[in-house]
Structure 1
């Protein structure tokens, strides 16, 4: 089928079946609202569902994400199935993949695609740095499944750091899904209240050896002090350690644009409001580099999200910082 025709048919079918998608979304999000206040992160399902969608569409295989999605506690299985069903049906008839779920993600990243686009950035960081580093720390791991995609012939030690209740739920889900977590060491800590590095070392992390820290979708929910404290702790680890992370700028906290007003309202409703943003004054690369330098880190790689032109400011970015 010609690509333009495939795209047209795909969106026509998706439009016709939108009531099914909407019903699934209501069932799914309704269960999250009921669970609010349990101490378990509600935003952790966002990255998991993006990886799951890519798995279903065949663009990025992630058996761990697929199996965890099947055992989401408190979420009727009908919710995710109805939500993704029309998209999957239209894809199978046309072969078309929506831009949000193409892998690797290419081109400019709009705010609504940030969670799916960053998968490509972080996967690339994992592939590049774990070729020479054998300690992998996932900060604010949520329902991350990268530990289950690592090559079996590599002796990589994986540590997942997250709040006690979210992590307890993750471990229960992993067990129920039948995933092998033998290579994962779980470390419970609240970034804003506890010394996560001390607990990490106590769990077997070798502070004298380089490590890859993955900090995905977390900074925006922390107070500035917690962000800086975490960066300083990473800077205190062995030379050659790196941290890959994503961030929003102050645009996300201050913009009156409809998208950002809805984003702030949505995270507040889920009990996890947006708190932190890098100063958006152009060029944002200098603002980010300054923050990292003040915490003892050096900016190594940076992808600015949004255009920095007269009247426009970057709204976020993906970055890698280095311990030197």
Structure 2
């Protein structure tokens, strides 16, 4: 039986659904147009999840809240219509829907992947960053973790991303009044440039341990670029760690309506799903084999979805370590 607060929340949300739908239509239309301009549209997903958690009061992220309100790819009207009624329903009922609870609870369905991985990556940062001198956010998009670090954090932070997306982010950070002076921005295309060379030229020391955060990126790269990136990470100092998420081949090949729609949507924004770890069960072993071939060892891991011959896993969250010379 649903709690009274949940009944109130969903009743109010249903009554406001026409406004919410209009908001999403406006938002998605602008996202598709933004993707065609060379700025990552899919980078909005993790940002909007952090924005929602901030406004539901489950995970504070002032930078995400400020950034999303002035980001060029997000229409102000679309944001207000899509999120305003839901947040009002929350304030009136006190109910927090499962998608915005922190830490995320229970099984992770595909539509909740962006929300669920926030907790996994936050936990990886909390666990590993105190032992690191360097923090590298690969394919940073509109990630805001660098702007949540304590002022006395003794770690050098680098953000690596495509030149166009990074330029828009830097301009938007300034517009939002967010201090980014402690971050070194490194423009690089994973599929066309030596990103590690660019990173090293910007002051990164490959001889010192680093935490690499690689969120929401692998699925949009060709296999060669994924493997090259993993090998470059493996060439850095012993003890370095990479935290990342991935899809399996199930997400790329499934004829299920959800995945057909997801592939069509990302393609419309100009970011095609390209890479998936072999979904042959157990998929964890397939991932471990891939990492080992690139000089890394799988440590923490969470499989997403069933992992059986009849219902294969569609993705996962993982951390891997550099524990031997590559």
Deviations 1:169-192 (A, max 9, x none): 000001111111111000000000
CA distance in 2, matches of 1:101, 1:141: 22
Residues 119, 254 of structure 1: CA spacing in aligned structure 2 closer, same or farther, 3 A cutoff?
same
Show structure 1 runs of 4+ deviating over 6 A. none
Counterpart residue number, 1:209: 208
Counterpart residue number, 2:236: 237
Aligned-pair distance for 1:3?
Answer: 6.2
CA distance in 2, matches of 1:49, 1:74: 12
CA distance in 1, matches of 2:209, 2:254: 39
Contact 2:280 2:309 in 1 (8 A): no
- Alignment gaps of 5+ in structure 2: none
- Alignment gaps of 5+ in structure 1: none
CA distance in 2, matches of 1:184, 1:151: 13
Contact 1:307 1:314 in 2 (8 A): yes
CA distance in 2, matches of 1:74, 1:221: 19
Counterpart residue number, 1:219: 218
* SS of match in other structure, 2:36: coil
CA distance in 2, matches of 1:306, 1:134: 35
Residues paired across the two proteins, number? 323
Counterpart residue number, 1:22: 21
Contact 2:254 2:260 in 1 (8 A): yes
- TM (norm. structure 1) is 0.98
User: Bigger CA drift: 201-210 or 308-317?
Assistant: 308-317
Counterpart residue number, 2:262: 263
- TM (norm. structure 2) is 0.97
Counterpart residue number, 1:252: 251
Please provide the CA RMSD for this pair.
Answer: 1.1
* SS of match in other structure, 2:130: coil
CA distance in 2, matches of 1:313, 1:117: 19
Aligned-pair distance for 1:310?
Answer: 4.4
CA distance in 1, matches of 2:35, 2:208: 39
CA distance in 1, matches of 2:129, 2:35: 36
CA distance in 1, matches of 2:93, 2:227: 48
Equivalence map 1:171-186=2 (5 Å): 171-186=170-185
Counterpart residue number, 2:285: 286
